[in-house]
Every structure is written in C-alpha cells, then in structure tokens.
Amino acid sequence: DTGVSQDPRHKITKRGQNVTFRCDPISEHNRLYWYRQTLGQGPEFLTYFQNEAQLEKSRLLSDRFSAERPKGSFSTLEIQRTEQGDSAMYLCASSPIGGGDPNQPQHFGDGTRLSIL
Amino acid sequence: KQEVTQIPAALSVPEGENLVLNCSFTDSAIYNLQWFRQDPGKGLTSLLLIQSSQREQTSGRLNASLDKSSGRSTLYIAASQPGDSATYLCAVRGSSNTGKLIFGQGTTLQVKP
C-alpha cells in the first residue's frame, strides 16, 4: 500500500492553457474521487468513479472540466481554457468497496496545486 | 442541502492543554462522519471515522464523538503537543450510493511550546 499518488505536485500555467492532472489510487480501491480546495476552505466534491464508470459530477464541474478513469485504475482530470478562478489544490481520494459496507474511509493524496498566471 | 460548519476557525493553545474542536451539520441523515488532519501544502490524513450508529471513536490521544440527532461532532485532543499543529477538517457522508464527503471549512490549530 503506497498510498494515493498525484502528479504533478505543482502546476503553473498561463490563463487559457489546458492542463491535465493524474491520480493513481491505492491498488484495488474501486472508488476514486476528485475534490477541489481553495485557500482557507474545506475540499469541495467534483466527481467520482466506481471502477471505470463516472457516476456523479458536481455542478462545480463546468464543461471545461473532464475526468476519465479508462481502465478503472488511474484517473486524469483535464481543465481546458484555464481561468484565474481555477487556481486551487486538486485532491484525489480513493476507497474500497468492502462487502457493501459504506463505512470505508477515503484516503487522500497530497494534491496538485494549480496556479493560473 | 447538507452544510457543515466548524468552530472556531483558528485556535492557539499552550502545549499540554486538552482541547475540543467542534463540527456541526444541518442534515442528520448521515452515514458517517470523518475527521481529517491537513498539514500546510499537503493532502488529508484520516484520523477517525464514526459510523452513524456509533457515539464515539478513540485513537491514542484523540477522541471523536457524534450526536446525530443534534447534528454535532467534537474532536477531543488530550495533552496537546506542538506536532499537533495543523488544520483539522470534519466531513460527513450523506449517502452510501456516492460516498462523496461534505467538508467543513476547518479549524487551524497552533500548539505553542
């Protein structure tokens, strides 16, 4: 168990550019979540996958955002035409599904900090 | 719509004090509540998870309680140490179908040596 891994740790880009982040969950964790955290606030839910299926998307996830989990393992989050308001920490979390028990803690990665110039 | 509030936003205490962090939520229909710790520039580390049927959970110097009917949880830290300095976040899980967490804004704790 090497934990949830996110890459890159930091991304600085100019407004209008596209960016892509990667998340590698803990192996055998079926569920993968993306959250966004702005300074001084708690994380806000963006979307989640169960295996390769994207089952829920927040209204925060505008049409400039897209997430994939093609083989049910790693996931990518892409932001197109970045805006100043996209500057935030993007956190990924994973959890198992154990015998139908919903009380499985989510394990978080260290996040990708995005700064838009 | 579920809303989670944490009070106070910031807390500074001398080393060795016992302290309580508060979390309140508006919808009592939750599956569980989780307390996290976040160090600056880092991700979240899970501290304790309390199932909706439980009243409290303990891990070392940490004790978390849950009163679902009143929509409140507390995190008790005994004999605080400078290494406890961090932001503490509580999050509720409202549905087993999605598992998404609704977070409070966090309480930033500073323990002075």
Q: Express each pLDDT in B13-33 by its tens digit.
A: 999 999 999 999 999 999 899
- Quickly count: other Cβ atoms within 10 Å of residue A56's Cβ: 17
Residue B28, exposed/middle/buried by CB under 10 A (0-12, 13-18, 19+)? middle
Mean pLDDT of B50-58: 93
- A18-77 pLDDT tens trace: 999 999 999 989 999 999 999 999 999 999 999 999 998 998 888 999 999 998 899 999
Who contacts B61 (Cβ-Cβ below 8 Å, separation ≥6)?
Answer: B77, B78, B79
Cβ contact, residue pair A111, B98, below 8 Å:
no
**Chain A residues within 8 angstroms (CB to CB) of chain B:** 4, 6, 31, 33, 35, 40-45, 48, 55-56, 91, 93, 95, 102-111, 113
- A2-12 pLDDT tens trace: 799 999 999 99
Is B76 near chain A, with CB under 8 Å? no
Cβ contact, residue pair B31, A103, below 8 Å:
yes
- A90: tokens are 């993007």
- Picking from A62, A32, A35, the residue whose alpha carbon sits closest to that of residue A46 is A35
